[in-house]
Amino acid sequence: MSRKKKSYKNAPISEAIFDVVFPQPQNFSFDLMEEFYSVVKKDFPNKEELSFGEATFNFVKGEANISTKQQRIGLRLISADQLLHIKARNTGFSFHQVGNYRNWKDFYDCANQSLSVYIKKLRVSEFSRVALRYVNKINIPSTRIKIKDYFHFYPHVFSESSKEKINVINFMTQTHMRLEDNTYAIINQGLVDPAIPQHTSIILDLDVFYLSSVNFSSPQYKKIISALRKHKNNLFEESITDSTRILFE
């Protein structure tokens, strides 16, 4: 059963990610990355190169020969306020908002605008994977909690009638699920160091993605993005309890 998406005054989103993977363009040149940067550098003035390293080991007459090489595969671009990041790769593109998430429209419009410039520069027409990933950090005002009071989705450790006194001090779970044709989700959940003294901090990381080749110009593209967003919202609402929702008001 799906719940209606709620708008929260203090949403727990610590990072939102829009990620696209596509086939590596033919005749790829790093100059294309620089052309892309020249268009967006006003909004993303900080630039770092992304590279891929490879090491080869050979033994010749009992002696080890080691050769290494690095290949530039993309750029990491960062806004002046450090809140927006772009990872532009030869086989993909991801847009990250780190904190200060306001709403879906602002996030997606900015991500899609940058992506449109990028695929035009690289002459990419289709993608093989598209994903929405939202990392939520939920801070609960207590150092001793029952996880079931705050989450419908949590690890069970024995039963309440167990003779063992169990005090869970850490956990991390990962669940893979199929939502519909070509659409999947990975849910990561776990305890992390508390962000606030005398609190318990739990990560609820929702990664929802579509796996199939689709043209960016196809009407199906927008439908896929809309469906991913709906799935992400449903998974979030189904994972938490009303006690958790109160924390976001």
More confident residue, 166 or 67: 67
Contact partners, residue 64, CB within 8 Å, separation at least 6: 57, 58
More confident residue, 189 or 65: 189
- Which residues, listed in sequence order, are joined to residue 15 by a DSSP beta bridge? 98, 135
Count CB atoms within 10 A of the CB of residue 93.
25
Confidence of residue 70 (pLDDT cuts 50, 70, 90): confident
Q: Where are the domains of the chain?
A: 11-124, 132-249
Contact partners, residue 205, CB within 8 Å, separation at least 6: 133, 134, 135, 136, 187, 188, 189
| pLDDT at residue number 38 | 96
Contact 75, 48 (CB under 8 A): yes
User: Which range has the worst mean pLDDT, 5-9, 91-95, 102-106, 171-175?
Assistant: 5-9
Report percent pLDDT > 90 for the chain.
69
What is the H or E stretch that residue 53 is in?
strand 46-60
Q: Is the pLDDT of residue 221 over 70?
A: yes
d(C-alpha 10, C-alpha 101), whole Å: 10
Confidence of residue 162 (pLDDT cuts 50, 70, 90): low
| pLDDT at residue number 1 | 43
Within its chain, how far is the Cα of 249 from the centroid?
24
Phi–psi pair at 227, nearest 5 degrees: -65, -40
Q: What is the pTM of this model?
A: 0.88
CATH domain 11-124 topology: TATA-Binding Protein (3.30.310)
Q: At what angle do helices 104-122 and 30-40 cross, to 10 degrees?
A: 140
Confidence of residue 165 (pLDDT cuts 50, 70, 90): low
